[in-house]
Structure 1
């Protein structure tokens, strides 16, 4: 496999990458603190007057959490993004200034400004003076510089930033109120749904809608703004349409994706389905519009942010008087997106089976095969493997660093564990938190690959269409596993292992009792030769009354299991030896008419 690598970052980011970067910066300050927002929402939903179990004493938590705890956490997180722990501390101090400046409104926007700004000021101050500090005075400098500069920034935040934030917050609130009064809020789906598919979902939801929603919920007890991005209905409808009217792998994977999306709240899982057929964005938009219209019709809203956007989280945050409206809105949005997506898919007369990432990669392999390039040379295989020589850490990076990347990391971690690779850690994080370091392999979605490359220019990069189903995971594991076999082996000797001896003694080393499938490897010597060899061998097996399945596969499609017997030429055998360690291999001079083939038929079941 050829990893997507680059030694130098691009000089200029694309506009799309810049927008993603700005949106993610906002989101990254809120996303890590969603638990605190949910805690506040639960307190208001359960213990406030009109809640499920009103309790005036416990309800006293709501105001301090809303006006102090959450803004300070946001400022702390924003500061840490800019300048690690020193930035986090001064970010919290600076945020306190805007909080005290106006105790009547939750200063979420002020925290998003003062957190990063305070950390940036301290960073520039350190760059100017830290190197001049005498040995032994480092702690004094660190503490006093943070304390004094933090105090100054808190005062500036209280006197200057607070009035600006009040004006901006009032302007945005007035705009939202005006839109809601004229019932135009459903039209926001025209912006939100396409932006979500471009992996700006967390930026829009947590960076913009959640802060506005919290201010609204603090005033009236609930907000529909929490639902504009988090509503799982549009995505559910599209995935259900693929279940009934999709083709190929897309149809087969859609039921599982629907469950993960609707109950797990991982919205990113349906984005590739839309990217595969962009016209489906119309279904998402109409579904989002109809859902929001229904929420407004029932005057429904959530007490706090629903994160992740699963039906479970949505219902947990639903206001006491809004359950009917919330359920109706989700169902209506799912029904509308399902009907529109079904119409689009049914009218699609293309012969393309619509497979997702695996199908796209398979098409690339088929194109290469038609040009006589399907089987890479031994040197090409060795070059690919050697690109992983220094890898000791794998990081999955997504926009928020939580949902989809966590699931992708879990899948690959399981594959790495089963392959017996104990020295490679597999973790996940947000793209914005990536740090360039030696021995790093970064796996990210193709939409975020450019930003990942900017953050880690010296890492090995692998981009995938879908974190939950990518053939590249097997290629990564194969390269890592093969690395130990070829590190000290000359290319001319690859494949000359005891498992690939070019003599009749090979059969004595094969465990025929474990064989469940026989495979021929498609290669570039004669187009279609593997298919022909498979047909001939199947006929021989049938005449002998043997029932073991015989299939022709590509080299990257093999499962590295002992129950696979692979019949290959010497050239193919060399590549197999460096990619796999568990499959059983028999090397023949001619896959169409070698004497060993008849011997194999006798020994197989």
Structure 2
């Protein structure tokens, strides 16, 4: 069995909720950072105090530079409209799309326009509220008549419902949300002004630096600092708030201290981590070093406070958010006249952190911490794998691994396909004797070495198998965690099988699924699906199964219910919706359906071209799912599916 030290403890509920909230905010802002950068560069070039006017070509308000910069009274420039309309609407669209695909994004953008038009300040906070609200409410409204619209009227109902509801939300945003958000924004701005006017801004590092280590900073950074900083930059051309979290100096100082005063793996890995952190902007690489020796948080707090103090003294700032927080990104957004102060703040924060961390390391009489375990704990805080693990060589554990279970809610769809892919990877690496099976989470027992689940199901799986090593994945077909599992098995003391060993016994080993043709009837193959949303696609695939006599009417509802818990998007353009464990009672026999979409469907943020509906009794369908998993790892096979013109050609690719 795996070493108990490799088992990660469950995360606390309150912290997880804050992390999820921060991640959600970050997911609305980060995809649009390019637009923020574009706005920042245009601002730097074309406003009156920008770079080009200093060349003498923008002195007149009638010049083309003046109009681009937005100086004219008629509002014909770019800078003002971009920050007033473009950036908030992009955020609102992204927030709606995250919840309900393109349709939710459109309604979210309409709703955002209402709150934008109702105020005179850039409405980023309003966009972060109205965008998701638009997507969520539209999703609930669509669910009211899902599967009940007569053929031929879908587009009419979809367009009018989105338009009507978008208009309602825009009106609500204009009259109700706009005054509320403006009030909240003003009060937060007053709080920042108080800190600045009383020279207290450096104290924010007492919150921000520990929050970074615990991955709680996104809620502060993207929920408060980015909106307030952007408002300030719109008025004065720069904001120091963009530097509170992005300064790479404290992380650099800490890693340099480990490079000089550290020991063992920490000392060896610190130089590479410093390069990644300072030049690449991936701050998380230094978090395990703090988690390994928690008192070093004092060093990064002191360094952060020093950097903020220097920024305030020199009155510097950035024009727009620096993401990621690398030295290059910081300089790219540094306002004109702020380069000296920004440089000194990074150097001073690094120097102070280095000095304090070096002193703490030199006087540390305790045994060396386990950097690999700290990295594992850091990844658990984050909820997914980190680049830090590649620096320290951390794995899921060091005990014997001879049995692996890939678990999902029902145990017949995503887990079957993931198990097939992982089984093949292990076999190719020479570990075909390792047993890999798929099961429903409800049937797990604490008798296996390693459990693989979607990250949203890991907590449930851990409750049933507390002594196993748990690995979380998001992409079922091509997750990088599979390679980590192979390396873990390779280092396992008890698994020593010859290279070239065949695929282990069991259904779905990835070999030919010939003879499973009856599972995919030609009537269950659709080459031009009509659905435009995730739920409609599930209904379309499910109805094919019902029409073929594979399942009863209630199975479609079970498939929709299953999707609410964990996404069945596998990656590589494939989704395999299936029912819940309770929905198996509606299955009459094993079978699958196949629907291809010319225009990819947004499936919880992933683009899906192919939807394979699954209904399985026993293990009969698993071999075919294993074959499908291998098909979608083969670009040539996927190309044949895209080019297929008949159901027979599709079945030939999937079953031969």
**Which category describes the TM-score, using the shorter chain as reference length?**
0.5 to 0.7
Question: Any conservation in 2 of the 1:17–1:450 contact (CA below 8 Å)?
Answer: no
Q: Which residue of 1 is the match for residue 298 of structure 2?
A: 282
Question: Would you say 1:384 and 2:401 are equivalent positions?
Answer: no
Q: Which residue of 1 is the match for residue 38 of structure 2?
A: 39
Post-superposition offset of 1:349? 1.3
Question: Would you say 1:173 and 2:189 are equivalent positions?
Answer: yes
1:374-397 Cα shifts (integer Å, max 9, x gaps): 874xxxx441388897427999xx
What secondary structure sits across from 1:462 in the alignment? Answer: strand
Assess, with a 3 A threshold, how the Cα gap between structure 1 residues 326 and 166 changes in structure 2: closer, same or farther. Answer: same
Q: Structure 1: where are the runs of 5+ without partners?
A: 5-9, 362-372, 396-414, 422-439, 444-448, 491-605
After superposition, where does 1:338-417 map in structure 2 within 5 Å?
A: 338-352=354-368, 354-357=370-373, 376=400, 381-384=401-404, 390-391=417-418
Q: Which residue of 2 is the match for residue 78 of structure 1?
A: 95
Q: Structure 2: where are the runs of 5+ without partners?
A: 5-9, 54-64, 70-76, 378-396, 408-414, 432-450, 474-479, 507-656
Post-superposition offset of 1:17? 0.5
Greater helix share, structure number: 1
Question: Would you say 1:335 and 2:347 are equivalent positions?
Answer: no
Assess, with a 3 A threshold, how the Cα gap between structure 1 residues 329 and 112 changes in structure 2: closer, same or farther. Answer: same
Question: Would you say 1:239 and 2:252 are equivalent positions?
Answer: no
Tell me the number of residue pairs that the alignment of Structure 1 and Structure 2 aligns: 424
Question: Any conservation in 1 of the 2:105–2:135 contact (CA below 8 Å)?
Answer: yes
CA distance in 2, matches of 1:121, 1:298: 47
CA distance in 1, matches of 2:201, 2:420: 45
Q: Which residue of 1 is the match for residue 209 of structure 2?
A: 193
Q: Which of 68, 73, 82 matches 1:58?
A: 68
Post-superposition offset of 1:304? 0.7
Question: Any conservation in 1 of the 2:2–2:399 contact (CA below 8 Å)?
Answer: no
What secondary structure sits across from 1:303 in the alignment? Answer: coil
Post-superposition offset of 1:21? 1.2
Q: Which residue of 1 is the match for residue 13 of structure 2?
A: 14
Assess, with a 3 A threshold, how the Cα gap between structure 1 residues 79 and 478 changes in structure 2: closer, same or farther. Answer: farther
Q: Which residue of 2 is the match for residue 436 of structure 1?
A: none
Q: Which residue of 1 is the match for residue 117 of structure 2?
A: 100
Q: Which of 165, 171, 175 matches 1:155?
A: 171
Q: Which residue of 2 is the match for residue 122 of structure 1?
A: 138
Assess, with a 3 A threshold, how the Cα gap between structure 1 residues 73 and 477 changes in structure 2: closer, same or farther. Answer: farther
What secondary structure sits across from 1:106 in the alignment? Answer: coil
Assess, with a 3 A threshold, how the Cα gap between structure 1 residues 393 and 121 changes in structure 2: closer, same or farther. Answer: farther
Question: Any conservation in 2 of the 1:248–1:354 contact (CA below 8 Å)?
Answer: no
Question: Any conservation in 2 of the 1:226–1:304 contact (CA below 8 Å)?
Answer: yes
CA distance in 2, matches of 1:302, 1:384: 50
Post-superposition offset of 1:48? 1.4
* Backbone CA RMSD of aligned residues: 3.9
1:265-321 Cα shifts (integer Å, max 9, x gaps): 000100011011111111111111111000000001011111100011101111111
What secondary structure sits across from 1:356 in the alignment? Answer: helix
Q: Which residue of 2 is the match for residue 26 of structure 1?
A: 25
What secondary structure sits across from 1:384 in the alignment? Answer: strand
CA distance in 1, matches of 2:188, 2:491: 52
Assess, with a 3 A threshold, how the Cα gap between structure 1 residues 82 and 375 changes in structure 2: closer, same or farther. Answer: closer
Q: Which residue of 1 is the match for residue 333 of structure 2?
A: 317
CA distance in 1, matches of 2:420, 2:33: 28
Assess, with a 3 A threshold, how the Cα gap between structure 1 residues 473 and 172 changes in structure 2: closer, same or farther. Answer: farther
Give the TM-score taking structure 2 as reference length.
0.58
CA distance in 1, matches of 2:459, 2:293: 27
CA distance in 1, matches of 2:19, 2:12: 11
Q: Which of 234, 243, 246 matches 1:230?
A: 246
Question: Would you say 1:273 and 2:289 are equivalent positions?
Answer: yes
CA distance in 2, matches of 1:56, 1:393: 61
CA distance in 2, matches of 1:170, 1:52: 31
What secondary structure sits across from 2:471 in the alignment? Answer: strand
What secondary structure sits across from 2:145 in the alignment? Answer: helix
Question: Any conservation in 1 of the 2:429–2:486 contact (CA below 8 Å)?
Answer: no
Q: Which of 221, 241, 244 matches 1:205?
A: 221
Q: Which moved more, 1:134-143 or 1:478-487?
A: 478-487
Post-superposition offset of 1:132? 3.1
Question: Any conservation in 2 of the 1:394–1:441 contact (CA below 8 Å)?
Answer: no
Post-superposition offset of 1:3? 11
Q: Which residue of 2 is the match for residue 474 of structure 1?
A: 487
Assess, with a 3 A threshold, how the Cα gap between structure 1 residues 351 and 171 changes in structure 2: closer, same or farther. Answer: closer
1:9-49 Cα shifts (integer Å, max 9, x gaps): x9x97111111111222221111111111110111112211
CA distance in 1, matches of 2:29, 2:133: 16
What secondary structure sits across from 1:130 in the alignment? Answer: coil
